[in-house]
């Protein structure tokens, strides 16, 4: 009787172990569909997305860092569909790309979708190769700062703004009054400095393509280019859709056949409370909520 019970226990335990392994395998397959995990072995390419206006670098940089020490990830494909965004945010993502290449030895390739302009192009210049579609909008090398002056509206409403400041330029760009000539000169000096930083980033990234700083300045008047034009001007390295660029990236790092692709895990679908308290939404809701749209002075690498 005891032998029978022991055998029964072993059989049940065996079935339990098989069931547990099956659950793990199913979970692994589910994760592979959602992104983030596709098995235990084999060389692979990580695909990270840069989409929409770039307000903050945190999410993209976390996704890039996720693959920094994974020896199975031979290359990172940055799939881009963005008109650019904040100056500092674009620079931070570009710095992360350089870190991956220089410190971690990763190959980073850009695949542009509909748009890869301004801050998006700034980021692209930090990669090993840049690809776009023939009709992709790219370029827009330049800086913009704009805001809405609603001073006349306040006068109409018989509202008088009062400002106490510690220096002449403390409230430069105030939406309640016109810019003084000295303030305009000061703002233009900041724009010029950020513009030179942009040109320097392009010159550094495109030197192997044979572009000089002087040639870049002729192209860097804020205009956009199609993918075909950008290739002709040596702003990108080739034309192709996502699948073509993926295969080209695999060839660059010696992966034969169809490359195995991993992507960052998708955000967990939580409750409404989770949504409202998340960092990204919190930053969005706190972003100039007490001011009318366009009233805050911001410096941007952004195609409008």
Yes or no: say if 65 and 99 are a contact pair by the CB < 8 Å rule: no
**Annotated catalytic residue: which of 170, 207, 266, 304?**
170
Yes or no: say if 46 and 263 are a contact pair by the CB < 8 Å rule: yes
Q: Using alpha carbons, list the distances in angstroms from residue 40 to 7, 16, 71.
A: 34, 23, 12
DSSP 177-223: SPPPHHHHHHHHHHHHHHHHHHHHHHHHHSGGGT--HHHHHHH-SS-
**Annotated catalytic residue: which of 57, 90, 118, 140?**
118
Among this protein's residues, is 118 annotated catalytic? yes
* SS3 at position 254: coil
Quickly count: other Cβ atoms within 10 Å of residue 139's Cβ.
26
Yes or no: say if 80 and 116 are a contact pair by the CB < 8 Å rule: yes
Enzyme catalytic residues? 118, 170
């Amino acid at each position: 009787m005891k032998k029978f019970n022991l055998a029964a226990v072993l059989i049940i335990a065996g079935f339990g172990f098989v069931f547990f392994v099956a659950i793990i395998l199913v979970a692994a397959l589910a994760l592979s569909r959602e992104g983030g995990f596709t098995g235990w072995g084999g060389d692979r390419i990580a695909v990270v997305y840069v989409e929409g206006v770039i307000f903050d670098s945190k999410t993209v940089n976390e996704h890039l860092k996720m693959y920094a020490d994974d020896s199975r990830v031979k290359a990172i494909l940055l799939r881009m569909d963005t008109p650019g965004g904040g100056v500092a945010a674009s620079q931070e993502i570009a710095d992360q790309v350089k870190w991956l290449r220089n410190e971690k030895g990763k190959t980073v390739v850009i695949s542009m979708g509909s748009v890869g302009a301004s801050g998006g192009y700034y980021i692209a210049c930090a990669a090993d190769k840049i690809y776009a579609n023939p009709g992709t909008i790219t370029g827009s090398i330049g800086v913009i700062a704009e805001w809405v002056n609603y001073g006349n509206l306040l006068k109409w409403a018989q509202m008088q703004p009062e400002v106490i400041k510690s220096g002449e330029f403390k409230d430069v760009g105030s939406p309640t009054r016109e810019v003084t000539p000295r303030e305009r000169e000061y703002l233009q000096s900041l724009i010029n400095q950020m513009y030179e930083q942009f040109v320097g980033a392009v010159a550094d990234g495109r030197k192997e393509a044979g572009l000089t700083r002087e040639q870049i300045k002729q192209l860097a008047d804020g205009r956009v280019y199609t993918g075909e034009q950008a290739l002709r001007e040596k702003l990108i390295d080739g034309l192709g859709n996502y699948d073509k660029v993926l295969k080209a990236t695999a060839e660059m790092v010696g992966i034969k056949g169809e490359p195995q692709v991993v992507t960052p895990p998708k955000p967990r679908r939580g409750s409404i409370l989770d949504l409202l308290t998340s960092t990204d939404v919190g930053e969005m809701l706190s972003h100039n909520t007490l001011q009318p749209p366009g009233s805050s002075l911001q410096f941007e690498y952004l195609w409008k």
